[in-house]
Amino acid sequence: MVNKDLQFASDLRTAITRLIKKLRKESPTGLQLSLTERSTMSLLYQHKALLPSELAAMEMITNQSMSQVLNHLFELGYIIRHPSETDKRKVNISLSIAGENTLQQFRHERDEWLAKAITEGCTAEEQLLLKQVIKPLTKLVDFK
């Protein structure tokens, strides 16, 4: 029984990983950014403003690596740096309007591709199965 469970877990992991890779390729806008840069933009969108050290911790990378990510995003005009109101030595990072627009654009491109793939590639029964699997997949994501 355990062997079957491991095989199922492996098959699920493989399918999800392949889908994620495919989705990344289906966003021309997102191709100019690394996975960490896109993820950083998503965190900034979600939290509105964060310190570089907070972003580094959330992304599980060094402060130095995050500094490089932020420098690239700043060069592209996707983030804004502003001094902290409570501690002038600290700098808060937030998305610029261009950054928000870009994030929304590559999300839209991926959603469009996925909706088309589901509609054209899956039967009505398979589409229903996919809708039903969202809740258990979310539980897996939230599992600690």
pLDDT in tens, 97-120: 999 999 999 999 999 999 999 999
Check whether residue 118 and residue 143 sit in a common domain: yes
1 or 16, higher pLDDT: 16
Check whether residue 79 and residue 37 sit in a common domain: yes
Check whether residue 18 and residue 55 sit in a common domain: no
Q: For residues 73 and 58, is the Cβ–Cβ distance under 8 A?
A: no
Instruction: Give the separation between CA 143 and CA 104, rounded to whole angstroms.
Output: 27
Instruction: Residue 69: name the closest of 44, 104, 48, 102 by CA.
Output: 44
Check whether residue 81 and residue 43 sit in a common domain: yes
pLDDT digits (tens, 9 = 90+) for 24-69: 888 888 888 998 999 999 999 999 999 999 999 999 999 999 999 9
Cβ neighbors of 56 (< 8 A, separation 6 or more) are 62, 63, 65, 66
Instruction: Residue 73: name the closest of 102, 106, 48, 49 by CA.
Output: 102
Total domains in the fold of the chain: 2
Check whether residue 21 and residue 45 sit in a common domain: no
Check whether residue 90 and residue 38 sit in a common domain: yes
Instruction: Residue 35: name the closest of 45, 23, 53 by CA.
Output: 23
Instruction: Give the separation between CA 67 and CA 109, rounded to whole angstroms.
Output: 28
For residue 86, what pLDDT is reported?
87
Output the average pLDDT for the chain.
Answer: 94
Check whether residue 37 and residue 91 sit in a common domain: yes
What is the band of 1 on the pLDDT scale with cuts at 50, 70, 90? low
Check whether residue 111 and residue 87 sit in a common domain: no
For residue 129, what pLDDT is reported?
96
For residue 27, what pLDDT is reported?
87
What pTM was computed for the model? Answer: 0.82
Token pair recorded at residue 13: 């992991």
Check whether residue 8 and residue 55 sit in a common domain: no
The three-state DSSP-derived secondary structure of 87-125 is CCCCEEEEECHHHHHHHHHHHHHHHHHHHHHHHHHCCHH
What Rg, from alpha-carbon coordinates, does the chain have?
Answer: 19
Check whether residue 44 and residue 86 sit in a common domain: yes
For residue 90, what pLDDT is reported?
93
Check whether residue 22 and residue 46 sit in a common domain: no
Domain that holds residue 141: 1-31+97-144
CATH code (residue 82): 1.10.10.10
Check whether residue 27 and residue 38 sit in a common domain: no
